[in-house]
A and B are shown apart, each in its own frame.
Chain A
Amino acid sequence: MLVDFFLHLKSRQLPVSTKELLALLEALEARLVTGSLDDFYLLSRTLLIKDEALYDRFDRAFGEYFKGIEALPGFDAMVPEEWLELAARKHLSEADRARLQKLGYEKVLEQLNERLAEQKERHAGGSKWIGTAGTSPFGHGGYNPEGVRIGGESVGNRTAIKVWDQREFRNLDDTVDLGVRNIKVALRRLRRFARKGAATELDLDGTIAGTARNGGWLDLQLRPERHNAIKVLLFLDVGGSMDDHIQACEELFSAARAEFKHLEHFYFHNCVYESVWKDNRRRHGEKLPTWDVIHTYGPDYKLIFVGDASMSPYEVGRPGGSVEHWNEEAGDIWLQRLVDAWPRAAWLNPLAENYWNYTPSIGMIRAVIGNDRMFPLTLDGLERAMRSLSK
């Protein structure tokens, strides 16, 4: 029972385990919910999904699976009967009720099932098959896949649109772009990254307790120091279509600035060449030679690029390819120098990951920095980038 459902969730890359499936079956056996698909949805979400970032994916998977299925397997014979009766009493006219009486609920159910079997597609309006609200025998339950509502509290479904179809947890999905809503979460993940990797310090309380336990012999205890030790160099691509994303990203990192031991940012346009700049308004006046940057910051810095990496291949691969000036050496040589100077590097790309293969310059840049070093600028991508940086 429910194995198909379980496997369907698995195939949608939801991390569900057998243990959780058993818990769900246990809950059904304990009759925690009876028959209502809405309740079953809530219950299965509580028991199977352990992260609100996965709620949206679960909603979609649930909708896919239960598209066209009207009630829980095994429950359909048991539940709608009384509900139909209830609904009928509330909403049907005398004549309709008489007709229904004649037909009998058993018969109604049978027909309903037949019709459901015939019905392949979900109808948004729900007017074709089911749902003229009270005249067809199949509108009463308010319980069919279209979610046709009969009104009032007939079956406990408050809304016509199914809960899982509302997709209200879309914002919490961590594969969408960084925005105002999830920037906080992103910040938290950055902070976690910033706090990692420090030396140890003497744990005084631990030492006293350990010494006492030892009967007076000194027992030194050490614990990880809680200082922030991460140093970051941020290279931002400005002056193009990416400006919005760059701003979001810059804000993000400056908000986390307190958490980093050092955070330096530099700007470039499209690709890095012999000079970068620190102030966008005076970019043509105050250029910093890239060599100076390479010589200034030690190899313990981590290098993060932000940019779409989308340009003409000449801008990466040829001397003189830059759109702004004559560059003596090609962009990929400069990129390689940066990556050599700071081996722990990541590139955050605001473009969606599935477009990367269509832009040759992205491939060229990935060839230089490493194929697994480019990440999409989403919460999930940010997290992967941070994880790869702290390795």
Chain B
Amino acid sequence: MKFEGTDSYVATRDLTLAVNAAVALQRPLLIKGEPGTGKTLLAEEVARALNMPLFQWHVKSTTKAQQGLYEYDAVSRLRDSQLGDPRVEDISHYIMHGVLWQAFECEQPSVVLIDEIDKADIEFPNDLLRELDRMEFHCYELHRTIKAKHRPLIIITSNNEKELPDAFLRRCFFHYIKFPDKETMQRIVEVHFPILKHELLKEALEVFFDLREVPGLKKKPSTSELIDWLKLLLAEDIPPEVLRAKDAKDAIPPLHGALLKNEQDVHLFERLAFMSRRKS
């Protein structure tokens, strides 16, 4: 059982190695990288490629570690008791299973995605140490220990907004997805647009990488933005010559809204274009 990328996801050698190490040694895999380099997508593609069910847990600033295990819905139970509902006798009716519980009880090995773990409180990763290590936890209301039938493959993504505690990091494998080079990018685009005209792709990639080199951009365009932009180029049927026209008066690439996401960046880019035109 080896992950080698899929028909819609190009994985570099270092990434596949990291995933396979995590699968083989059954450790959680922590993924970091620039936004838009396919961190979240990785879990979906791994699940698809290895034919395992995927459980997703999207973390928000208010998410608590307990919510991934289970939640005791005390409010419903209180209401039921006041209405005389017979269900109130059995506490298990009010235990809501979280993502990890579902994955632990799954009959086959599964993939769990813990997305954007850095959004949560600083204590969040610490509260999951034992769960990730031993793959078990105790449900106090039911006096029962939930133990994983098969250790799931846990993929965790982070955007680096908070530092993660050392104890947590020690338990994970780590991979930093670096921004793809031109070659890899070409493969990624080919996967998404198999029929793209070769010339258009070449011009587009050039414009794209030039744009990334512009100093002082607030948000550099990333892979997912390139894909969106190509979609637009295709939909509008822009000929490759337009992209090549570097010295023409419209030095701003067409449909740049898909690549540059804030006003200041567009403005900066326009100014640079203006200056380079004046020089020439």
Is the pair B30, A42 in contact by a Cβ cutoff of 8 Å?
no
Residues of chain B in range 1-43 having any CB-CB distance to chain A below 8 Å? 13-14, 17-18, 20-21, 24-25, 27, 30, 32
Note all chain A residues with C-beta closer than 8 A to B170: 17, 19-20, 50
Taken together as a complex, chains A and B put the C-alpha atoms of A19 and B18 apart, in Å, by 17
From A27-35, A104-112, A275-283, A330-338, the one touching the partner chain is: A27-35
- Within 8 Å of chain A (Cβ to Cβ): is B216? yes
User: A43-B17, A46-B174, A49-B174 given as contacts; is B78 within 8 A of A30 (CB)?
Assistant: no
Note all chain A residues with C-beta closer than 8 A to B18: 42, 46
Is the pair A42, B24 in contact by a Cβ cutoff of 8 Å?
no
From B49-57, B158-166, B193-201, B239-247, the one touching the partner chain is: B158-166
Residues of chain B in range 138-170 having any CB-CB distance to chain A below 8 Å? 160-162, 164, 166, 169-170
Residues of chain A in range 195-225 having any CB-CB distance to chain B below 8 Å? 208-209, 212-213, 215-216
- Within 8 Å of chain A (Cβ to Cβ): is B187? no
Is the pair B17, A33 in contact by a Cβ cutoff of 8 Å?
yes
Residues of chain A in range 1-55 having any CB-CB distance to chain B below 8 Å? 15, 17, 19-20, 23, 26-27, 30, 32-33, 39, 42-43, 45-47, 49-52, 55
Taken together as a complex, chains A and B put the C-alpha atoms of A46 and B13 apart, in Å, by 12
Is the pair B74, A192 in contact by a Cβ cutoff of 8 Å?
no
Is the pair B20, A180 in contact by a Cβ cutoff of 8 Å?
no
Q: Mark B173-204, 1 if CB is under 8 A from A, else 0.
A: 11110100000000000000000000000000
Note all chain B residues with C-beta closer than 8 A to A83: none
The smallest C-beta distance from B271 to any residue of chain A, in angstroms, reads: 16
- Within 8 Å of chain B (Cβ to Cβ): is A129? no
Note all chain B residues with C-beta closer than 8 A to A168: 178
- Counted as pairs of residues, one from A and one from B, with CB atoms less than 8 Å apart, the total is 71
- Within 8 Å of chain B (Cβ to Cβ): is A188? yes
Is the pair B78, A208 in contact by a Cβ cutoff of 8 Å?
no
Taken together as a complex, chains A and B put the C-alpha atoms of A33 and B24 apart, in Å, by 12
Of the listed residues B30, B169, B174, the one surrounded by the most CB atoms of chain A closer than 10 A to its CB is B174
Closest to B30 in A: A50
Number of interface residues of B (CB under 8 A): 31
User: A39-B17, A46-B21 given as contacts; is B74 within 8 A of A212 (CB)?
Assistant: yes
Other-chain contact of A27, B24, B160, B162 (Cβ < 8 Å):
B24
Note all chain A residues with C-beta closer than 8 A to B78: 212, 215-216
The smallest C-beta distance from B31 to any residue of chain A, in angstroms, reads: 11
- Within 8 Å of chain A (Cβ to Cβ): is B215? yes
- Within 8 Å of chain B (Cβ to Cβ): is A185? yes
Taken together as a complex, chains A and B put the C-alpha atoms of A216 and B74 apart, in Å, by 11
Taken together as a complex, chains A and B put the C-alpha atoms of A212 and B88 apart, in Å, by 14
Is the pair A15, B166 in contact by a Cβ cutoff of 8 Å?
yes
Note all chain A residues with C-beta closer than 8 A to B14: 42, 45-46
User: A32-B20, A32-B24, A208-B75 given as contacts; is B176 within 8 A of A55 (CB)?
Assistant: yes
User: A46-B17, A47-B21 given as contacts; is B75 within 8 A of A212 (CB)?
Assistant: yes
Closest to A41 in B: B14
Note all chain B residues with C-beta closer than 8 A to A45: 14
Closest to A255 in B: B218
- Within 8 Å of chain B (Cβ to Cβ): is A169? yes
Residues of chain A in range 148-181 having any CB-CB distance to chain B below 8 Å? 168-169, 172, 180
Is the pair B75, A50 in contact by a Cβ cutoff of 8 Å?
no
Is the pair B21, A32 in contact by a Cβ cutoff of 8 Å?
yes
Give 21 A-B contacts (CB < 8 Å), ordered by A residue: A23-B25, A23-B173, A27-B21, A27-B24, A27-B25, A30-B25, A32-B20, A32-B21, A32-B25, A39-B13, A45-B14, A46-B17, A46-B173, A46-B175, A47-B21, A51-B174, A52-B176, A55-B176, A192-B162, A213-B72, A213-B74
Question: Shortest 10 CB-CB distances between A and B: which pairs?
Answer: A50-B169, A52-B176, A212-B74, A213-B74, A46-B18, A50-B174, A212-B78, A212-B75, A42-B14, A42-B17
